[in-house]
Amino acid sequence: MSFRNKTIVLTGASAGIGRMLATSLSQQGANLVLAARNPEALEQTITACTNYSGKVIAVPTDVTQAEACQQLIERAIATFGQIDILINNAGIGMLTRFDEVTDISIFEQVMQVNYLGAVYCTHYALPYLKASQGQLVAISSICGKTGVPTRTGYVASKHAMQGFFDTLRIELHSTGVDVLVVSPGFVATDIRQRALGADGKPLGKSPRDETQGNMSVDECVRQIMWAMERRKREHIMTLKGKVIPWAKLIVPGFVDRIVAATIRKTTST
């Protein structure tokens, strides 16, 4: 599949994976509708895309609000007349042990952004994706495959995303709409610095040793686009991520220990 002249709606486009995806898709001639909460950061993404042939618009959007997601899709149709791909990339992290949480509302916040935001955007875009026999893309995580210490809320939101899109894929089987769930591992973005801590506020500093085991954003985006081009149903980016679902069936306790050890190894003290 070529991205040239395709209309692509991309949430979480203001930084990290989203910004690099926008730039890479723009290079290939896609028409982009970029969404995020921060208008100034969105404008920086647009600036990074202006040297290429595709048209790009920014629509400041809070994906936790269903009405805002509806307006995002309506703006895409008003501007380009169609939607070929929706990439649900908006996300927020959470990093704290459950027994240390003092602001329980962080679970609602994380679920609203990571899961319900994808549900809202998908709901309003789906009629147009059916018309174009387009593609739904969910940027999930290996955390959608297994439990990970200090990430209860984040893991729950990614499990919800995985289950939703796996089910939707079955429902859309005869419509021509393909559903891709992408599961990266640790990627070199600032998501952990922005993650919510026990008190519900952004940490400001990653508790993880960011010098260890991170995939580059460039490589992550390359793999996402590779999977999109082939209209795959799922793409897990790491060997560990591919092994874990099978290992959990046979030696679930061993998987728990490996995951816990990995987090301890990569977390600063």
Is-contact 118 62, C-beta < 8 A? no
- Among residues 163, 158, 138, the alpha carbon closest in space to that of 148 is found at 158
Which residue is catalytic, options 115, 120, 128, 154?
154
Residue with tokens 């990995």: 262
Is-contact 20 218, C-beta < 8 A? yes
Beta bridge partners of 9: 33, 86
Clarify whether 154 is annotated catalytic.
yes
Is-contact 53 29, C-beta < 8 A? yes
CA distances from 120 to 49, 62, 73, 92, 128 (A): 26, 11, 10, 16, 14
Residue type, 8: I
- 3-state class of 131 per DSSP? helix
Q: Which residues are catalytic?
A: 154
